[in-house]
Amino acid sequence: MNLRNIASEFRLYLTNYWIAAVPSHTLRLFYYRRVMRLEIGPGSTIFMGCWLDTPGGIVIGKNTTINQRCRLDSRGGIRMGNYVSISAGVTILTADHDPGSPDFSGRHAEVVIDDHCFIGTGALILKGVHLGTGAMVGAGSVVTRDIPSGEVWAGNPARKIRERLIENYHETPPYRRLFQ
């Protein structure tokens, strides 16, 4: 392992074990923006305990909340819109391995989460998924394919439960807790 790889691994170690435990939104967001190269919109926050797999590759709109203990795998890229709410313990994966490949080679695909989406606690979003505007994902769901705008999906694998029937989504203020 060369010096560059060691420095990269050390940066991830600092990010996931030290910075993620700092009880200050301001300091964490500064580090995520400057050192990890995340694009984070105004009013957005990432709570304590979030795990990042790689630097860069994440774009977050304004007033978006990522709750505690989420895993964000940005190898394929993650784009989140405005007013997105991601509950605790959500995992977003943008890579997997090709089971048909003789060397089990990796595959990457971007995850896109449009404005006003809600993802429930413990949900798993797999690579290449697109959540349309206002889509909702139930707690513990495994999302393997795109969810159209305004639909509520749940289960493993997630399937459509119902429509949201909302015509105009309101802009909600940022959500922060003092020591999260």
Residues labelled catalytic: 97
| Residue 66 and residue 175 in contact, taking contact as beta carbons nearer than 8 Å | no
The Cα 68–Cα 66 span in angstroms is 7
Give the alpha-carbon dihedral of 144, 148, 152, 158, to 10 degrees.
-10
Q: What tokens appear for 137 in the block?
A: 């994902």
Residue 106, beta-bridge partner list: 97
**Phi and psi for 19 in degrees, rounded to 5?**
-60, -40
CA nearest 158: which of 108, 124, 115? 124
- Alpha helix positions (H), the chain: 3-13, 25-34
The Cα 17–Cα 51 span in angstroms is 9
The Cα 95–Cα 29 span in angstroms is 25
**Three-state DSSP class for 44?**
coil
